[in-house]
């Protein structure tokens, strides 16, 4: 029996899954400043105690694109504490690591580095908060990768074509193809999927024996016509998609009926907005994979600050509130105090069962005062809860809806109005605001040379990435391009004809979105180069000032006064210590190569698979789903590499188990569990 358990353990991957940790969120807040660091330590502590094979992160490890020194220091301390040790890593990598980590200075997985002692490898893609930027296109994850504490994969800088090459992992007889795609602007990725410019590569050898795991960080819910990624765009050979960026926890795998794969949305591990999706209990997942079967075990996070939220519609209580009553405002305030006290009592009861939870909860009461009511003073109301609530300034949120004159009262659906109040539940981007402004602006302030989209992206770079020269360089670049266009057209020097040609040129650029993207990228490259030149000039001028000041201080004074240095303005001069002659491609490329075949993504309306499902319920509150794909003929290309095989049976079944927080792990019903024998 022990031999069977040992064999199961040798063939089973244990993967801890988390997304959107947002280290450094509100780090300067005296109450909530350490929430993200405490929860990150809890996640890594679970990974260490569960003895997982590796940790998979779905983006947004950091909240800021340029995290503070405190945030980076805390992250490094946690990774060093929990991820380094003597416990051996039980799986191997079969793919060409020089391809998987080709953006890294050290293109191989960290646990195979002879200078490091890694016990828990971490694989992570970047999100939209910590994406690569700047002249060298670096992000905070690249710092962790260079330090050997994390494996950053899934990077793609091309806007013309994306080839996603998987990291091929093997443990015993189980093989996983790990695909990753870091955050890309949703509209651009949507267009690339439509134009079939995204390709997921598959191994030529035994392609049906791999468990295909894909981690992505994009909008899953529809925020606009093209501002999201439909699940139907993804290939149907995928077994499980781990979806980052969405903060609502829906970690239990949900099957997409059309494509056949399962989607797990772990959600964030910290509350970053006081919205209904964030009020759902936070979890991470422990994924077990054996062969083509998988099982997701939910693990509740105990250190997350509790968040209670409630909606109130004053018009629904005509017996309590009359808009004509002079004391109605006091009555509303007393009613809101009762609601807040009730939520505080619920939060206290929840916290009593868990001493690790922070003491002060997050409370949100949204009040719809449509119908002639007046709001009371939120600041005065908040002062009563400063010592009891973590967000005293944001407890009450008043909102009301615009009256729709053309519609009858019977047509109004107040339920829908309440679910999406103004300024809440919706995230507006800077480029959307720029576009909206120019659409509603007067004609005299409309753009005549630039396009709204290009200006919006330049402003977005200025706000998010602190590219101070982004707008100026975009204007210069577009001005030069327009001048060249007019010279080529040999336009007459008449103001009306010039204006007409400029208008036509602008309209043609608006239609060609790819060319417009190229213009913005060129302008951003110029801005980054300009910033780098400025930095060099500032450093050089500082050194010259220091040298001149020092020389003046050593001169003899004719007046007999001692020579003194005036106020120092010098900055420390950074000396680049050069690369030490390491061949980055020599390691990890040999004997790890595997042949791939390109699979062109062709989204179809009807899936080509047929399934037979058998759902068995028992007393343990476990749902066991066994999925058997129908047989199909696959024409395979000849293999170029041969690997030793430990089993001849073909794995054709694919199954999923879901487990609640209290259930014990029973990955496969035919065998009992056991700890891994080293």
Report the catalytic residues: 129
CA distances from 159 to 90, 508, 516, 517 (A): 37, 20, 12, 8
Q: What is the C-alpha radius of gyration for the chain, rounded to an integer number of angstroms?
A: 29
Looking at the DSSP bridge assignments, the partners of residue 368 are: 313, 399
Under 8 Å between Cβ of 126 and 151: no
Give the tokens for residue 301. 């996070």
Strand 283-290 versus strand 12-18 pairing type: antiparallel
Helix 35-49 vs helix 69-83: crossing angle, to nearest 10: 10
Which long-range CB contacts under 8 A does 43-46 form with residues at least 24 apart?
Answer: 43/16, 43/18, 43/269, 43/284, 43/301, 44/78, 44/79, 44/81, 44/82, 44/83, 44/120, 45/82, 46/16, 46/284, 46/286, 46/299
**Phi, psi at 440, each rounded to 5°:** -105, -5
Place of tokens 């450094």: 24
Q: How many angstroms separate the first and last alpha carbons of the chain?
A: 17
In the DSSP assignment, the letter for residue 432 is: H
Give the strand pairing for 240-244 and 654-659: unpaired
Cross-sheet strand order for the sheet of 307-313:
307-313, 362-368, 396-399
What residues form DSSP beta bridges with 254? 263
Beta carbons of 401 and 356 less than 8 angstroms apart? no
Helix, strand, or coil (residue 323) = coil
Q: Three-class SS of residue 435?
A: helix
Residues sharing a CB contact under 8 Å with residue 510, sequence separation 6 or more, in sequence order: 451, 453, 516
Contact call for residues 151 and 101 (beta carbons, < 8 A): yes
- The strand pair at 293-300 and 654-659 is best described as parallel
Burial (CB count within 10 angstroms: exposed 0-12, middle 13-18, buried 19+), residue 444: exposed
Dihedral of CA atoms 632, 635, 639, 645 in degrees, nearest 10, equals: 10
Do 123 and 182 meet the contact criterion of CB atoms below 8 Å apart? no
Write out the DSSP string of 127-172: -SSS--BTTTTB-HHHHHHHTTS-EE------SS-EEEPPEEEEET
What's 27's DSSP letter?
Answer: T
Q: Are 299 and 283 in contact, with CB atoms under 8 Å apart?
A: yes
| Closest among 143, 125, 144 to 134, alpha carbons compared | 143
Burial class (CB in 10 A: 0-12, 13-18, 19+), 54: buried
Q: Which of 85, 81, 87, 5 is nearest to 44 (CA)?
A: 81
Answer for the pair 542, 573: CB distance below 8 angstroms, yes or no: yes
Residue 169: strand pairing partners: 93, 176
Give the containing element (helix H, strand E) for 419: helix 414-419
Could you give the CA distance from residue 591 to residue 456 in angstroms, rounded to a whole number? 47
A 10 A CB-CB count for 570 gives 15
| Whole-number Å distance between alpha carbons of 157 and 153 | 12
């Amino acid at each position: 029996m022990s031999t069977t358990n040992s064999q199961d353990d040798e063939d089973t991957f244990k993967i801890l899954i988390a997304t959107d940790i947002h280290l450094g969120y509100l780090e300067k807040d005296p109450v909530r400043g350490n929430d993200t660091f405490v929860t990150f330590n809890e996640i890594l502590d679970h990974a260490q105690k569960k003895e997982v094979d590796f940790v998979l992160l779905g983006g947004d490890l950091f909240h800021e694109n340029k995290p503070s020194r405190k945030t980076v220091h805390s992250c490094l301390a946690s990774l060093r504490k929990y991820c380094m040790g003597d416990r051996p890593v039980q799986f191997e990598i079969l793919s060409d690591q020089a391809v998987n980590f080709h953006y890294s200075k050290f293109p191989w997985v960290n646990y195979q580095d002879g200078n490091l002692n890694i016990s828990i490898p971490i694989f992570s893609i970047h999100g939209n908060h910590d994406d690569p930027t700047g002249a060298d296109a670096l992000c905070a994850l690249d710092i962790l990768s260079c330090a050997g504490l994390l494996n950053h994969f899934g990077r793609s800088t091309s806007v013309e074509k994306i080839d996603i090459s998987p990291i091929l992992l093997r443990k015993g007889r189980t093989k996983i193809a790990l695909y990753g795609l870091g955050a890309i602007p949703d509209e651009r990725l949507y267009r690339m999927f439509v134009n079939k410019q995204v390709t997921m590569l598959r191994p030529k050898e035994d392609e049906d024996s791999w468990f295909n795991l894909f981690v992505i960080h994009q909008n899953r819910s529809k925020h606009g016509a093209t501002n999201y990624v439909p699940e139907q765009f993804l290939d149907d050979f995928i077994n499980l998609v781990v979806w980052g960026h969405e903060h609502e926890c829906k970690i239990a795998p949900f099957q997409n009926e059309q494509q056949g794969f399962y989607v797990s949305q772990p959600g964030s591990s910290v509350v970053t907005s006081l919205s209904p999706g964030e009020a759902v209990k936070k979890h991470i997942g422990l994924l077990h994979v054996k062969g083509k079967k998988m099982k997701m075990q939910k693990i509740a996070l105990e250190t997350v600050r509790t968040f209670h939220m409630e909606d109130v519609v004053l018009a629904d209580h005509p017996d309590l509130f009359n808009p004509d009553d002079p004391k109605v405002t006091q009555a509303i305030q007393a009613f809101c105090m009762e609601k807040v006290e009730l939520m505080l009592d619920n939060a206290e009861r929840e916290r009593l069962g868990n001493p690790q939870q922070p003491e002060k909860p997050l409370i949100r009461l949204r009040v719809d005062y449509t119908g002639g009511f007046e709001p009371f003073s939120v600041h005065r109301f908040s002062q009563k809860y400063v010592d009891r609530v973590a967000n005293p300034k944001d407890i009450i949120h008043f909102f009301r809806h615009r009256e729709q004159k053309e519609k009858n009262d019977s047509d109004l659906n107040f339920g829908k109005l309440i679910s999406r109040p103004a300024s809440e539940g919706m995230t507006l981007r800077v480029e959307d605001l720029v576009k909206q402004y120019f659409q509603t602006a007067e004609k005299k302030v409309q753009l005549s040379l630039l396009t709204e989209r290009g200006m919006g992206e330049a402003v977005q770079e200025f706000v998010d990435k602190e590219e101070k020269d982004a707008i100026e360089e975009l204007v210069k670049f577009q001005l030069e391009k327009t001048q060249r266009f007019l010279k080529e057209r040999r336009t007459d020097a008449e103001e009306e004809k010039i204006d007409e040609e400029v208008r036509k040129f602008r309209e043609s650029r608006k239609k060609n979105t790819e060319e417009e993207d190229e213009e913005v990228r060129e302008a951003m490259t110029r801005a980054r180069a300009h910033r780098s030149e400025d930095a060099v000039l500032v450093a050089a001028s500082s050194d010259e000032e220091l040298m001149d000041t020092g020389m003046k201080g050593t001169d003899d004074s004719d007046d007999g006064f001692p020579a003194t240095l005036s106020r120092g303005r010098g900055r420390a001069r950074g000396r680049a210590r050069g690369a030490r002659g390491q061949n980055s491609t020599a390691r990890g490329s040999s004997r790890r190569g595997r042949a791939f075949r390109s699979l062109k993504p062709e989204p179809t309306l009807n899936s080509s698979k047929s399934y037979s499902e058998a759902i068995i319920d028992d007393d343990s509150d476990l749902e066991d789903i066994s999925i058997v794909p129908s047989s199909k003929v696959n024409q395979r290309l000849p293999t170029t590499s041969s690997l030793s095989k430990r089993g001849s049976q073909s794995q054709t079944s694919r199954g999923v188990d879901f487990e609640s927080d209290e259930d014990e792990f029973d990955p496969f019903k035919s065998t009992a569990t056991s700890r891994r024998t080293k």
